[in-house]
Chain A
């Protein structure tokens, strides 16, 4: 993999905004703006590297299935900070396998190959920018421009497969109105686009407007029953909110019930506790970094301490050779516990440190989106940089 300089397209902000990436500016703490989309550079990968990454993602998905079984058999829910009241439904849905749609692995790619940093299995974003980069490769490289990017087609195909299994009509898509850059809204809007293309009737609804009626179950803002809902809102939040009991009690595809996408068992895979579980089951696997629950013995001197449930690098601490090297912003995470993961070499590309996001649709790898950072913690100030396959 290399990082190359590329001539940015003239008028690129208008181009990407027109394509849906309306949240390309990130507001910095001092009120200034920095571009989140960065097309003055690009990463080039070989076909062999893409195949290797795809293979790693496939194997990891199979390992995750084993890890889910192990968590249930060994009753590790408490250690992973998963509340007891959610456990029966997690176990039940793990067995019954209600529809799931997508996820995103984050990999480092250093001298020792692709290493799993974490798996965003419940509410991954960066979907719109992954689609937008396809237009970039066509504009810059023409019809011959190649990219690992089957995400759109895979999502449409997945929704088509699920058509007979989704109860009710329309299919609801829930987002939070608190998010103010447009990222959540456009991500859900993009997901609607893929479902519409697959033949669904769709309805967008702020999750804050979700209602609940004793007889009907969950209802929309017009009191219509919600039989199935895709939610860009994590289960780790939902199980602690006012409607948690109702969501758990009325979960399913029957009358008066709601089928949730992603399913609640994704709390197993999206939890950072999955990292020590994988390492315990597959020690020395070439795509894994040594990882431990905080109360386990380890001899790592360079490591990252991550809260089980944190987002955007919050409350992460990086220790290199026994000394603190960097830390993420304090957002109050960590009460639920931490994991320790060996510090990974992300590689240094002119001072930039990329994380490779590999999309999965159902149980198949589907494409790539790369974000890079200046510092050691990849946080919400990172930049999305397009890629091209160059053999």
Chain B
């Protein structure tokens, strides 16, 4: 049989699989508090209910950034938005304990 039918040795073990699932894949989860120009400011400007004109900045390129650094490559969320104005629970109501199921075909028998 030709090699193309074969799968190579898949390194699929539960430890890395679960680790990947639970922790994500190592993305940059650090959030910085920034001003309107994407310059890093003290976190207190965004903490609590946040302040107008300040944002949480996610996914910045590069390593750790200090106050005053201008961030690039990520996205920002208005700090006053955190924990407010976000509606939750709008998906998921149709599922049951069997989940999406094995969605198996039906028909037949010999």
Contact = CB atoms under 8 A, between A and B. Distances in A.
Contacts of B64: none
Interface string B62-100: 000000000000010110011101111111111111111
A19 B13 contact: yes
Interface stretch (A64-72, A74-82, A89-97, A146-154): A146-154
A35 interface: no
A193 B99 contact: no
A320 to B, nearest CB: 9
A17 B102 CA distance: 18
Consensus secondary structure, chain B interface: loop
Interface residues of A, number: 117
Interface stretch (A4-12, A55-63, A279-287, A377-385): A377-385
Q: What interface size band does chain B fall in? A: 35 or more
Contact of B20 (A117, A147, A193, A211): A193
Nearest to A191: B21
Contacts of A219: 77, 86
Contact of A208 (B16, B91, B109): B91
Nearest to B56: A223
A360 interface: no
A380 B104 contact: yes
Given A18-B13, A150-B4, A378-B104, A192 B25 contact: yes
Contacts of A186: 17, 21
Interface string A214-258: 111001001111010000111001101111001100000000000
A216 B81 contact: yes
A176 interface: yes
Interface of A: 17-20, 22, 47, 50, 106, 108, 110, 117-118, 120, 123-126, 128, 131-132, 134-135, 138, 146-153, 168-170, 174, 176-181, 183-186, 188-190, 192-193, 195-196, 200-204, 206-216, 219, 222-225, 227, 232-234, 237-238, 240-243, 246-247, 289, 304, 306, 311-313, 316, 318, 325-326, 328, 341, 343-349, 353, 355, 367, 371, 375-380, 382, 389, 391
Given A20-B14, A237-B94, 14 more contacts: A131-B7, A149-B7, A204-B22, A212-B86, A223-B83, A224-B75, A225-B75, A234-B100, A241-B94, A242-B93, A318-B109, A341-B107, A355-B108, A382-B104
